[in-house]
Chains A and B, each alone.
Chain A
């Protein structure tokens, strides 16, 4: 079969659709304006829902969540950490809601167990003393970037073309039908290369899927249709360590700042829910960060004085069918909607998918792929719930890799967990394989692999490997990461890539600049500016530098001493000079 489909959007939904359609035999091209996960997917707390969160308010979503939770544990083992979760009731939180939550979980087939306050504190010792009891559910943590990369890799294996840094500039409509998209490649098709000029390309397709989430309205507008998505922002605050090892939720009706997700070496506090006009331009405010810390430290008091390493904001692609008229974004359903623009707007060839949740991305992809199949009259079955993603095929005994690759154990553990079944291929290469990012224990081989996949875009490398995402926020490793681009890429390209990564790390760090992290930031600034002169690097100068005006180090051997000031003799024996009476002299 040769149906060609263009998928717009490289988040979980888009990559999921690309994989599914490619597996069903379509000729798929996915375009994404930034990195994979550039939009909403890369800006969430990485919670793999058990469904418990929706067990009171939205039971059909809750059921979908637990089903997909089970699927992802099977097909995406190297992306998932099953931490377990607690819905915690504090003294004063309503008993009725707790009971409703418990009943809801059971109704929705979510394994749920009540534990006493004492038992909850045995699981999570830092929980507040006044925690009364909790419901234990199978929440987990999931790495959204690793997941999207795995989906994209699988799509590629099935013949798809994945183009990141390819911004859609137009949706092509001919004779009342969508026939493709026009994209602007940041640096030409394929991997992004800094300093390489961009190109424009027309991608013709029999069908176009708009999977751009909060940006769906913009793509819709290019095709001349209205997609009234309602972007809603939420803040996430990254803490320096895992203050908790399980997902901790506050067991009370909807509210801001009610979840803590342990994620790799950090814990992520979330979130708020506030409608914004523009998914790319909205205020990021300090009070939102304060709200997270102040409210969540009611659950886990040590958060109050813990170190915040950075904060980020994401936008949900909320959608509700026209006419519902909900005013509070927290009331808008988390269901997803498939908008067939032929049915809705009399524009064949285009479907948008909006709403939904990360945990159910695969199901959304399945539904939209079913829909595309219908358009083409194709009867291919969805296999994405059964076939493991690349990296999760046969993880085997990860511990065995440690010795094999000569990696010391905690590093091997981290590396193999991230790489899953890619471990032998990546880590088995030529030695030496030093650790480049110490905070996150990322080795040189992993960085090389990521560069092979994503070109000079070090933010893509960062997302693939977690390099520069730890406590030091790139202070010690940016240089080493960027160096690995050389000699494949030339020096000015490496410098650009380095600068971009450095600035990106700084951006989010600014929201947590006090206490330890301000000291850390000052150290980072000192290392890069004081020691390395990165801020005023002569290589970046417009004009030539008069090198001859500076000390060349060899005057010490000259016979003619500098007699203009007569400091030589006095200085040489450590003696002191009479005070100078200059304008700024001693008084």
Chain B
């Protein structure tokens, strides 16, 4: 006898979690199955809506770009109102932890690479660093953190023509870690306000104060200070505020590639919302099989240490991610959706899957299932694969999330629509 729920969501990323929340809100019982940790831990924690539709951009107002997108883009499938609803749901989940909901305008967020990137929502920890804010800026990096070179990032920002003075300095963190220590080690030291090393900060008993004292003489009139995204982990707000108070200027974090604490923090916020909404979660086991009847899914099976565990539902949401999250698989023979074997169109010659320029128009980036108006995946003949299966997030084809900067928005919008419609049918 299968474990039964009204709605079963397969996939635990932003799309899956949004779908589960929207389904739960309709009153349906919901279970979310996830196999591995979501790709949010690789993500910057920035939540994009739409930054570019082609070579133009960045778009100041993402909504103005929607009509330039191709018809098969998931945004065109669900429409502007669904995008707005998706973002509203997001804002409800994250509360004060995120900013940007006060305006339709995109924000330009500086990254650890010294680039700036358009995004719709950004962690509160990055709010003081926006590139449209004209306050003069000091970036602080640390010896031994090879992922971030503050003076280089500052020069890079200046090269982009930002409307403020920006300088970078590299300091010696007041506590010595192993040479290959990760950002998380620094964050933990700040979270706990660990004791600094005597030889690095002899006069101070907490690493936060020691750090502030190191930065202070470098300020030289700077009106805000940016750090790599290691300003505390669980205690991010507290650490940031503590540093800001000691320095008397706002402190912010730069968007980063992995390991990215903001991405992990975002996942925690959503998980808490899922718990609150009563969504049941089962993690750690892959879906390996399914059963269907009369063109509708009835049951999926996970593999738990060799045992097949059945999960039944009336409605299903596929939110397993794209190539990165393994929601789309491939081999020398072709591209496939591994859970329900939904059709994924792709060129026959695998050299046509990619472009010669690393940042060219990459066909693989748009691989994914093709949905009908109701987000139900279609087979090669254009018929729905299963009458009660909807897809959400990057398992959907037609969008180049990386080039267009629209991944999170697509996940939020399609997750919301898929979840809400699944729930409404119960």
Residues of chain A touching chain B, judged by Cβ–Cβ distance below 8 Å, are 286, 290, 293, 406-408, 411, 431-436, 443-444, 476, 479-480, 483-484, 486-487, 490-492, 494-495, 502-503, 505-507, 510, 513-515, 518-519, 521-523, 525-539, 541, 544-556, 561-562, 565, 567-568, 570-577, 579-587
Contacts and interface: CB of A to CB of B under 8 A. Distances in A.
A550 B362 CA distance: 28
| Residue among B87, B322, B324 with max Cβ neighbours from chain A (10 Å) | B324
Contacts of A286: 349-351
Interface string B151-164: 11001111111110
Interface stretch (B109-117, B303-311, B383-391): B109-117
Interface in B63-79: 66-67, 75-76, 78-79
Contacts of B255: 531-532
Contacts of A573: 92
Which residue among B60, B76, B349 has the maximum number of chain A CB atoms within 10 Å of its CB? B60
Contacts of A492: 159
B401 interface: yes
A556 B128 CA distance: 12
B127 A553 contact: yes
Interface of B: 42-44, 46, 48, 51-52, 57-58, 60, 66-67, 75-76, 78-82, 84-85, 87-89, 91-93, 99-108, 111-118, 122, 127-134, 143-149, 151-152, 155-163, 176, 178-181, 255-258, 260, 322-324, 326, 329-332, 349-351, 353-354, 356-359, 362, 364-365, 373, 401-403, 405, 407, 417
Contact of A513 (B67, B146, B260, B354): B354
A402 B149 CA distance: 27
Nearest to B162: A547
Contacts of A486: 149, 151-152, 155
A555 B103 contact: yes
A479 B113 CA distance: 7
A582 B67 CA distance: 11
Residue of B42, B107, B330, B407 most packed against chain A (CB within 10 A): B330
B257 A535 contact: no
Contact of B115 (A533, A574, A584): A533
Contacts of A581: 81
8 contacts: A491-B152, A518-B323, A529-B359, A532-B257, A536-B403, A547-B161, A550-B118, A576-B89
Contacts of B134: 552
B146 A538 contact: no
A530 B117 CA distance: 8
Contacts of B179: 406-408, 431-435, 443
B156 A491 contact: yes
B81 A582 contact: yes
Contacts of A491: 114, 152, 155-156, 158-159
A531 B117 contact: yes
Given A527-B258, A555-B103, A584 B60 contact: no
A568 B88 contact: no
Contacts of A547: 108, 131-132, 161-163
A529 B43 contact: no
Nearest to A518: B330
Contacts of B162: 547
A506 B358 contact: yes
| Ranked 5 nearest A-B pairs via Cβ | A574-B92, A580-B81, A529-B402, A491-B155, A506-B358
A416 to B, nearest CB: 15
A541 B112 CA distance: 19
A373 B292 CA distance: 83
A446 B144 CA distance: 14
A525 B365 contact: yes
A310 to B, nearest CB: 12
B178 to A, nearest CB: 8
A300 B364 CA distance: 30
Contact of B128 (A290, A432, A553): A553
B99 A556 contact: yes
A551 B130 contact: yes
A408 B180 CA distance: 9
Contacts of B113: 479, 532, 534
Contacts of B133: 552-554
A225 to B, nearest CB: 37
A527 B417 CA distance: 27
B324 A582 contact: no
Nearest to A304: B332
Contacts of B260: 531
A337 B39 CA distance: 57
A568 B102 contact: yes
A551 B350 contact: no
Given A530-B407, A535-B402, A519 B326 contact: yes
A526 B92 CA distance: 27
A511 B309 CA distance: 39
Contacts of B407: 526, 530
B101 to A, nearest CB: 5
A519 B324 contact: yes
A515 B351 contact: no
Contact of B356 (A480, A510, A530, A550): A510
A530 B39 CA distance: 13
Contacts of B79: 580, 582, 584-586
Given A408-B178, A550-B60, 14 more contacts: A502-B358, A510-B356, A513-B354, A521-B364, A528-B402, A531-B44, A536-B52, A550-B118, A551-B130, A553-B122, A553-B132, A573-B92, A574-B93, A585-B79
Contacts of A408: 178-180
A500 to B, nearest CB: 11
Nearest to B60: A549
B146 A436 contact: yes
A164 to B, nearest CB: 24
Contact of A539 (B156, B178, B350): B156
Contact of B147 (A432, A479, A529, A582): A479
Contacts of A490: 155
A577 B257 contact: no
A487 B75 CA distance: 43
A405 to B, nearest CB: 9
A519 B323 CA distance: 5
